[in-house]
Amino acid sequence: MRIFTAAIAMASGLIVLLGYLYPLEMLTQIRGTLTDWAIIIAGVAVLVGVLNLIFVQLEKIRSRQKNSIYGVLLIVSLLGTFGLGLVLGPGNQYVQLAVDAVIVPVEASLMAILAVTLVYASIRLLRRRADVMTVIFLLMAVIILVAVMPTPIGPIPGDWLILQFAGMFSRGGARGLLSGIALGTLLTSLRVLFGIDRPYGGN
Amino acid sequence: MASLTCPTCGKDNPDFLDNCQFCQTALRREAKLNIGENPTKKSTGELEEVLPDWLREARKQSRDSAEEEAKKEATKPKIQIDEPADLLAGLAFQAASDEEEVPDWLAAINPVEKKTPASSKSVEEAPSDFFAQFNQPAQESSKAASSDISPEISSSTLGQGNLPQNDELTNWLSPNSDRPDESFRFEPDATPEPAKPTEPEDLSWLRDLESSSKQSTPAASSQTDGGWMSNFDSSAAQPSGAQEDLSWLNNLGGIPASTNAPLPPQPDSSPDDMSWLNNLGGTPVSSSNEPAPAQPASSQEDLSWLNNLGGTPIPSFDEPASAKPSSSQEDLSWLNNLGGTPVSSFDEPVSKPPASSQEDLSWLNNLGGTSVSSFDEPASAPAPSSPEDLSWLNNLGGTAEPSSNEPLPLQSSSSQEDLSWLNNLGGTPAPTFNEPTPLPPAAPQEDLSWLNNLGGPSASSFDEHASEQFAATSKEDLSRRFEPVLPESSSTPLAQPEDLDWLKNIDNQAGDPSVPPGFQFLTPRHTAPLTPQAQDSMPDWLKSATEEPSMPPLGATSMDWFTSKEQPPAPKVDEIQSDLPAPQISSVFAPGGIFDQSQDRSASDDQNIFTSAHDSSSLSNQDVDSLFAVDMPDWLSQPEPTADVPSGQGSSSQDLSDSLAPVNLPSWVQAMRPVEAAISEASALSPDQTTEREGPLAGFRGVIPFAPIGSAQRPKAISLKLQASNEQQASALLLEQILAGETTARPLKAASQVVSQRALRWALSGLFLLVLGVMLSLGSQMMPVLVTSPQMSADITNLSNTIQSIPESAQVLVVIDYEPALAGEMEAAAGPLLDQLVVTRKPSLTFVSSAPNGSALAERLMKNTKISGGLGYQLDSQYFNIGYLPGGSAGVRGFIENPQAIMPAVKVSRFSDFAAVIVISDHAESGLVWIEQLELMKQSDTTLASQPLLVAASAQAGPLLQPYVSSKQVAGMISGLSDAARYEFMNGSRPGLARSYWDAFGVGLFLAVASIVLGSLWSLFTGIRARRAEAGLG
């Protein structure tokens, strides 16, 4: 079974890759078909994830674990929203209200907590580790924030220079990250194609 | 839902909880055993309740049954099974038991003989004359001696065992006269059986045993199992019958009544005790008859076995009980044969029935291995029978028994004669038998004296020379010697002086003034050596009887016995020698003979058959030793000390211990010796050497040398204190501190840190909420939005130009790829771009989302940017929301290649129909996917080359997407609120979201910067101070 799954994965990957490299009609059609299947599987995976979430919360409720009441709330909310969306449509104002009144504020609040946490961490960074790198990090962070920060008097003088300077390092760093991401993606793909890595459960 | 009650607070908790939700106490404790704890031992009784009912009942039943058994065991009289040599214990049970196992050696004697009740009864009825004369004098002696004799030796043993089994004994001792050839078969384990009517011999002594055994029936039953010797032990358990049991011992040597004087009067038992003795010699013993009337049958029965001792048919024991004298004669006749010499001495006429007595006793003649033809004499009268009865006694000494042919002048004399033979049993010197045996007031002494001669060292005096002397003796003298010692009351003055001399000798030899009067010792006596013929024909069991027993007689103190053993016997062989023929004497006293005193055999050998009259139990032990002892222990086979009866009851072991040589002491005696005695002896031996007083060497002298070995000087004392230097001590101290520090718990500091961290976070949160809330609520726009950099300006200009290049009413794809958390920033960033596009180009917007929430966010974007409301864009009219595009990069790839295949709701057939693509993303990954896939499609599809790609990204994704902007893969990008504010400012401040956030954004950044700067400085200062403090403590 392990060999079968590995063979399928390898074949699929090679066909899609060859289809990208050699735009043959047959390869294109096969690649198109496999791509469509992947899209369908990905769409169903979202639903499977939602169902899994429901089942986990149900088990937690059945075993009467700690804080299982939140699982009840989650399942009720999920089913309610899902039902409303099916019935009223996603564009319905009531369904939109759930997003506007619940989802967005909640996640925005979490993001706000993140901002406070970052400030707190920055404050205590020197207490935990007072070294050069920590000072540089904090200094740069402050400089950029100051450069970006609007002031009543307008932008601070030299903000452009700071931003360019900062942008230079950021752009360079970004490119490096992107290159690393690309190479990592390529290597991972090759490992999957060669059957070295089997994230699909073949190991 | 099940609940558990908390053992601490008592509140109910759900059963799925391990700890109490109120007090956090463990709810389930029974099975908890923490690591390091020792399990508590619980009593199984506490767990009784958890046992099932059936198990509890079973346990209860077992407990009840155990209790019942314990009660039964308690109620049962003690049964002494493992008793030491009670040599005659089994004799009483022989006749009655059919289940007794007869040893082979005994079976060889009389194999046909089987104890039956009828025979035992008959034996009881007719005690022999020989033993009859012992009954009367033995009455009183038995009374006196019974209280003195130890329980083991007490005749109760015999009485208990024998009384119920008189028939057995009778049968054993008196086999049918018609079966002279039948070998005697001794059955010590035989159960009591009714006496045979055909055995009229007087077995009063056996009746005593039987009566005593009846008193302790369980003991008797166990004794039967234990053998004939056990009968003696059972009698020991019942002192009440001891007197009766002891009386028979008195009758062994015709003990006069004086020997039993201290004993309480028991007229019924004493005749019985004496009666058996009457039967031993086969002579009528009036004394034995006197106490017999109560139990005549038993005596006959008891004595009958004696007839069978010689292995010859003893018809004498078939006599009825009335003819006691005759029975005694008959009983005694066999004794004549004990000496192993041809018993021709029993020429005396024997009273009715003589034939039976002769037959019964004839076997005794063969005890010495000699042919027994002695029972030819008719037993005409009791008086003449006594010589016959006595004659066999002569043979016991290994001598010819001419004396047996001598008629006994008187009944009393016959009794004395009957007893006199007993003197020879122990190898007592013959001269004692020549002496008249008056009944002295100290009858116990006299009565016992002959017993002393039976097994005493006096037997050693018998040798060949003595045998010659015996030959010269007259028969009459021998007859007198063999007269049993009568008790005081019943003795005949005429015969007593002569006949009791030998008894005196016994007494003298026994001689222990410490012995209480009436105390009877079992003193083995050596007899004359047997002739070679007698020796050869003598059975093995009888050969062993010729040796001295190593065990003191029953009832005799160990010391007394050993004392008597050490004392050289008085040479009184002359009398015996003069009377007996030389060959017979020599044969008797020859080495290996019955009466071979020269042999100091090992403990396992029994030299004497009959004990002295001083101690009837000793006689019985001797008998048993000679007859049955095969492998006797040392202490049992040791020769008995000379009994000293009249000295008193309380025999003193101290006197005896003084005369004993440690070397000769048996092991069991040595083990009893006190440590002090051992120490004193050791000190007496070598005063120069130290005696160990403690430990395993206690009592030993000179084991450890007094002087130290080697140098005489005291060894130099070595200090045990460790010699350590200062450095070593400091190191040790340091090690101790380290070890102590490991065990000490360090204080926790987490509490203060938790409080300070929480307070700072709350403070920061409050500050930001407060300030930003005020700023937002005020709607302040005092912070200007300025474009200070040319680059910034160029980027903004370029983006604006790109939008202007989009054809009007074209299809524009808007990709929503951000999370609801950043919806505010993204709406602020994408708002001015879409507003300008919509305002200037009025495109048809198609919203697609690569996130599940994208469709909803698209609606929110359209609403917040006031495009849908303010600009009149309607859903599914001016803009289309096609929903979620799954599959990640594959989905994007597929959508780009064939939009309708992936998203059927799309209004375009090809992706190139879109005039522009606007990607709104808060993270670089999703933006990269669209950028990379579009770039790849543009290479294959040239129509996509002119399709601009615009990106509205968050401030966190902008740096990562900036390279794509620099590479012109992205036409323009708005990154963060600052760019949005400037673009909005350039767009005429439309929609105005960015501007509204600008002042709050500035204040927030200012607070953040200030918090970071000030907080970092404060943290730096406190950190340094804390580290200095830790360094100072360390």
pLDDT tens per residue, range B916-951: 999 999 988 888 899 988 988 888 788 888 889 999
pLDDT at B744: 79
Domain CATH number, residue B864: 3.40.50
Distance from CA of B23 to the nearest CA of A (A): 16
pLDDT higher than threshold 60 for residue B850? yes
Instruction: Give me the residues paired with residue B881 across strands.
Output: B847
pLDDT at A25: 85
The label of the residue with tokens 């920061």 reads B764
Distance from CA of B977 to the nearest CA of A (A): 10
pLDDT at B791: 72
Residue B524 domain-assigned? yes
C-beta atoms of A115 and B1008 within 8 A: yes
Q: Which of residues 893-932 of B touch A (CB under 8 A)?
A: 893-894, 897-898, 901-902, 928
pLDDT at B310: 44
Residue B957 domain-assigned? yes
pLDDT at B252: 52
Strands B949-953 and B972-975 turn out to be parallel
Q: Which residues contact B1017 (CB under 8 A, 6 or more apart)?
A: A126
pLDDT, average across residues A104-119:
91
Higher per-residue confidence, B81 vs B380: B81
Burial B104-113 (b: 16+ CB within 10 A, else e): ebbbbbbbeb
Residue B125 domain-assigned? no
Mutate to test the interface with B, among A33, A39, A118, A159 (most CBs of B within 10 A): A39
Q: Which of B764, B821, B999 sits opposite A110 (nearest CB)?
A: B821
Report the C-alpha gap between B353 and B349 in whole angstroms. 10
What count of Cα atoms within 13 Å lies in the side-chain half-sphere of residue B40? Answer: 9
Q: Provide the percentage of residues in chain B whose pLDDT is more than 90.
A: 6
- Please classify residue B10 by burial: count the beta carbons closer than 10 Å to its beta carbon, then call 0-12 exposed, 13-18 middle and 19+ buried: exposed
The residue out of B633, B648, B663 marking a domain boundary is: B648
Domain span including residue B627: 467-648
pLDDT, average across residues B950-966:
89
pLDDT higher than threshold 70 for residue A56? yes
Q: What is the mean pLDDT of chain A?
A: 86
Cβ atoms of residues A54 and A67 within 8 Å: no
C-beta atoms of A127 and B1022 within 8 A: yes
pLDDT tens-digit readout, B617-656: 555 555 555 665 556 666 665 555 554 444 444 444 455 5
Number of domains in chain B: 3
C-beta atoms of B890 and A103 within 8 A: no
DSSP conformation class of A103: I
Higher per-residue confidence, B672 vs B654: B672
Give B986's pLDDT tier (boundaries 50, 70, 90). confident
pLDDT, average across residues B860-872:
85
Cβ atoms of residues B460 and B230 within 8 Å: no
Which range, of B29-38, B234-243, B568-577, B942-951, averages the lowest pLDDT?
Answer: B234-243
pLDDT at B299: 43
Query: Cα B959 from chain centroid?
Result: 88
Look at residues B87, B133, B86, B95 and name the one whose alpha carbon lies nearest to residue B114. B95
C-beta atoms of B901 and A95 within 8 A: no
Sign of the alpha-carbon torsion through A46, A51, A55, A57: positive
The crossing angle, in degrees rounded to 10, of helices A159-194 and A132-148 is 120
Burial B279-293 (b: 16+ CB within 10 A, else e): bbbbbbbbbbbbbbb
pTM, rounded to two decimals? 0.45
C-beta atoms of A38 and B890 within 8 A: yes
| Residues B825, B830, B832: CA angle, nearest 5 degrees | 115
The neighbour count for residue B493, using CB atoms within 10 Å, is 12
Look at residues A144, A170, A159, A164 and name the one whose alpha carbon lies nearest to residue B786. A159
Which range, of A136-145, B300-309, B433-442, B704-713, averages the lowest pLDDT?
Answer: B433-442
Q: What is the mean pLDDT of chain B?
A: 64
Look at residues B542, B593, B602, B401 and name the one whose alpha carbon lies nearest to residue B482. B401
Which range, of B135-139, B838-842, B898-902, averages the lowest pLDDT?
Answer: B135-139
Residue B357 domain-assigned? no
pLDDT at A54: 92
Q: Give the per-residue SS3 of B505-560.
A: HHHHHHCCCCCCCCCCCCCECCCCCCCHHHHHHCCHHHHHHCECCECCCCCCCHHH
Q: State the complex-level ipTM.
A: 0.90
pLDDT tens-digit readout, A19-47: 878 878 888 888 888 888 888 998 899 88
The neighbour count for residue B94, using CB atoms within 10 Å, is 43
* Cis ω for the linkage preceding B353 (within 30 of 0): yes
Residue-by-residue DSSP string for B117-164: HHHHHHHHH-BBHHHHHHHHHHHHHHHHHHTTS-TTTSHHHHHHHHGG
pLDDT at B203: 66
Token pair, residue B45, equals: 């009784």
Token pair, residue B353, equals: 């029935």
Which range, of B379-383, B627-631, B1026-1030, averages the lowest pLDDT?
Answer: B379-383
Higher per-residue confidence, B1022 vs B540: B1022
Give 3-state DSSP helix, strand, coil % of chain B, rounded to 5: 55, 5, 40
Q: Which residues on B lie below 8 Å from A143 (Cβ)?
A: none
Query: Cα B991 from chain centroid?
Result: 101
pLDDT tens-digit readout, B88-134: 655 555 555 545 566 677 767 655 544 444 444 444 444 445 555 55
Give B459's pLDDT tier (boundaries 50, 70, 90). very low
The label of the residue with tokens 């040589």 reads B661
Residue-by-residue DSSP string for B206-254: HHHHHHHHHHTHHHHHHHHHH-TTHHHHHHHT-GGGHHHHHHHHHTTTT
Read off the amino acid at residue B770. L
Strands laid side by side in the B844-849 sheet:
B879-884, B844-849, B811-817, B914-921, B949-953, B972-975
Q: Give the per-residue SS3 of chain A.
A: CHHHHHHHHHHHHHHHHHHHHCCCHHHHHHHHHHHHHHHHHHHHHHHHHHHHHHHHHHHHHHCCCCCHHHHHHHHHHHHHHHHHHHHHCCCCHHHHHHHHHHHHHHHHHHHHHHHHHHHHHHHHHHHHCCCHHHHHHHHHHHHHHHHHCCCCCCCCCCHHHHHHHHHHHHHHHHHHHHHHHHHHHHHHHHHHHHCCCCCCCCC
pLDDT higher than threshold 50 for residue B234? no
pLDDT, average across residues B181-202:
48
Token pair, residue B135, equals: 């009954």
Distance from CA of A39 to the nearest CA of B (A): 4
Q: Which residues on A lie below 8 Å from B786 (Cβ)?
A: 154-155
B886 touches A at CB < 8 Å: yes
Residue B545 domain-assigned? yes
Highest mean predicted confidence (pLDDT) among B526-540, B633-647, B1002-1016: B1002-1016
Report the C-alpha gap between B575 and B565 in whole angstroms. 22
Q: Provide the percentage of residues in chain B whose pLDDT is more than 70.
A: 39
What count of Cα atoms within 13 Å lies in the side-chain half-sphere of residue B282? Answer: 62
Residue B544 domain-assigned? yes
pLDDT higher than threshold 80 for residue B589? no
pLDDT at B315: 41
Give B345's pLDDT tier (boundaries 50, 70, 90). very low
Residue B606 domain-assigned? yes
Report the C-alpha gap between B950 and B757 in whole angstroms. 44
Report the C-alpha gap between B257 and B121 in whole angstroms. 26
Please state the φ and ψ torsions of residue B518, each to the nearest 5 degrees.
85, -10
Report the C-alpha gap between B878 and B895 in whole angstroms. 21
Report the C-alpha gap between B128 and B137 in whole angstroms. 15
* Residues present in chain B in total: 1034
The residue out of B648, B676, B705 marking a domain boundary is: B648
Give A109's pLDDT tier (boundaries 50, 70, 90). very high
The label of the residue with tokens 């439309």 reads B990
Which range, of B578-587, B908-917, B962-971, averages the lowest pLDDT?
Answer: B578-587
Highest mean predicted confidence (pLDDT) among B68-82, B153-167, B526-540, B700-714: B68-82
Q: Which residues on B lie below 8 Å from A46 (Cβ)?
A: 852, 886
pLDDT at B827: 92
Cβ atoms of residues B146 and B245 within 8 Å: yes
Report the C-alpha gap between B332 and B306 in whole angstroms. 8
DSSP conformation class of B848: E
Q: Which residues on A lie below 8 Å from B888 (Cβ)?
A: 42
pLDDT at B236: 42
Look at residues B168, B186, B412 and name the one whose alpha carbon lies nearest to residue B297. B168
Q: Which of residues 994-1013 of B touch A (CB under 8 A)?
A: 998-999, 1001-1002, 1004-1006, 1008-1009, 1011-1013
Residue B232 domain-assigned? no
Burial B494-526 (b: 16+ CB within 10 A, else e): bbbbbbbbbbbbbbbbbbbebbbbbbbbbbbbb
Which range, of B58-72, B282-296, B841-855, averages the lowest pLDDT?
Answer: B282-296
Instruction: Give me the residues paired with residue B953 across strands.
Output: B921, B975
Cβ atoms of residues A58 and A71 within 8 Å: yes
pLDDT higher than threshold 50 for residue B428? no
pLDDT, average across residues B53-67:
88
Highest mean predicted confidence (pLDDT) among B210-224, B446-460, B484-498, B837-851: B837-851
Q: Which residue of B has its CA nearest to A152?
A: B783
Token pair, residue B553, equals: 């007689």
The label of the residue with tokens 């076995």 reads B305
Number of H helices, E strands in chain A: 7, 0
